[in-house]
Chain A
Amino acid sequence: MSLLLKNVSLPLAHFTLEADFAMQRRVTAVFGPSGAGKTSLLDLIAGLRTPRSAFIQLDDDVLTDTAKKFSVATHRRGIGYVPQDLALFPHLSLRQNLLYGCKSGGTNNSRFTFNHVIEVLEIQPLIARGVTELSGGEKQRVALARALLSSPRLLLLDEPLASLDAPLKTKIIPYLARVRDEFQIPMLCVTHDRHVALALADEIVVLMNGKVMQTGPVSEVFARPANAEVAKFVGVETLQPGTVTSVNEGLATVTVGKVTLTALAPPPASRDVFVCIRGEEVILQRDVAAASSVRNRLPARVLSLSPEDALVRVELDAGFPLFALVTRPACAELALREGETIIALIKAPAIHLVPR
């Protein structure tokens, strides 16, 4: 399955959505903050909006080609859509909702039989209920099943967890994963939630202010954000301006505040950089022990401790503001207190430099 988007341009309220990327992997997440144009992008792919210019191709079929004034009608694209507001038909029964997209009343594709879908998404107990009586999570599953039952070749999901509260979110993700695995259907999932992206996607497209900032495997994007905005969004705890003073054998010396760090060399022609350090990559140690592989050992003073679920977020002053994420037991063992001095260890590969 391949989805190709080229020269996409769609003027929106505050900016113009522009995209140029190809989706090759099975599950792609379009990741970005609210209002970045993600829903509009899905609408374009589904044929629900007309772009100023675009070339959209799914496998071997050209869906949209504005240059040739060609556009396949929505109902012929074979693309399933689960919108953010779910859009279940209130005047139809649950069963009628599910079967709406089914041609020849029920089975079109052996992978998507009615019973199979119902089973995977555990809708059976709900089938007698009215569509308006369902809870948020139940509606989500019904909307998903309805889209699946139309035997699409691509499934678009818009913020699948947005209308759910925290405990429900964790319950739905497994369903989505099941859909991905059981039905082997390509999915393009729009979200601003890291957990969805991390849990479901093979590939990520970062969309901010209508522009594609970065694409690539999930781990790659999270580890190496392409620029400061992406870094902030994917959740890099420490983001500080710095200057590369020298580059030697693939290692760069960077000055941040009053401190010098060693990091992997950034791409050429960038002296002014942002230094990105993920909280999880900062190791805290009591004393300056024996030689270790860590290049950066910074004395730091503990400014504050904020518990976050199973972790503790430690705010440090290491000559520049530095954040560390450690487990609670670790925090207890080290007996961390505010005002104390401690050593912060950061491996050179964990320091990511982004041009400024």
Chain B
Amino acid sequence: MKRKTASSGSTALQTRLRITLKKKIAFGPGNAKLLRLVDETGSIGKAAPHKTELFMDTKKFPKYLVLLAVALMTLSLPLRAAEITVSAAASLTDSLKKIAANYEKQSGDKITFNFGASSTLARQIEAGAPADIFFSADEAQMNGLAKKSLIDPATRKSILGNSLVVVVPSDSPLQIKSASGLTNASVKQIVLADPKAVPAGVYARAWLEKLQLWPAIEPKVVPTENVRAALAAVASGNVDAGLVYKTDAAISKKVKIACEVPRADGPDISYPMALVKGSPQLEAAKKFLDYLSSKEAGQVFTHFGFLLQK
């Protein structure tokens, strides 16, 4: 039964709520204040020392009512934990999943990923997709969003690098020692992430254009939606070769690296990340973003073959 009583003897009107159960007060103003303190401090532990403010003699209440109150409090905790959405380049799939698993254990927040081609993800964010963080495989896509004021420039950081490799199916007899090997007649189809916009493909094309081999290679190109799709195409054996990140080649057992693009010859591969403006989970997102720059996260990235850059 609910009853509202007005207190007496105070200038400000305070509504006090009492829930009575069989003539005993099950939930009164004291508990309410406790819960409010929990709300403010974020844990029961922190609220407890303020017990003396609460004018509560906890020993007087029957045990089951205390348990009920505690149960109510603990049940409400997960509702309070944050859920963040991260739109990240496909090549980051495995590393980010591992990092997120570690983070979730520590913080209690939940990370949901949306992996894909950075270009596609950028289009989605432009169209209003709910993402808290954008982790792109090249600066161009991030610049595009920055120009449209869709990201918070103050939070933008580029911490990762990568290198390109030419891969072939693991049972392929082809020997491609350098870029010019790709122009060979025995290499009939080469798969790239769409060189029009997907970073991995854009990088690959930039490299081949620099070597002036692009016109010879372009007719053989089979574009895919993202770099992992390119990797899968090579793994299936349906194409002769492909250009993917070194980190991707390491993931699949069905491909082998034919040759690596030297860092000096290759394009500058940089992975920027930033907070998306208008994120509803600003605090939590910022926390995760900071965690991504941490030493712990860095170790995972290195383990998967990424290059850390300062």
Whether A and B touch directly in their complex, counting CB atoms under 8 A apart, is answered as no
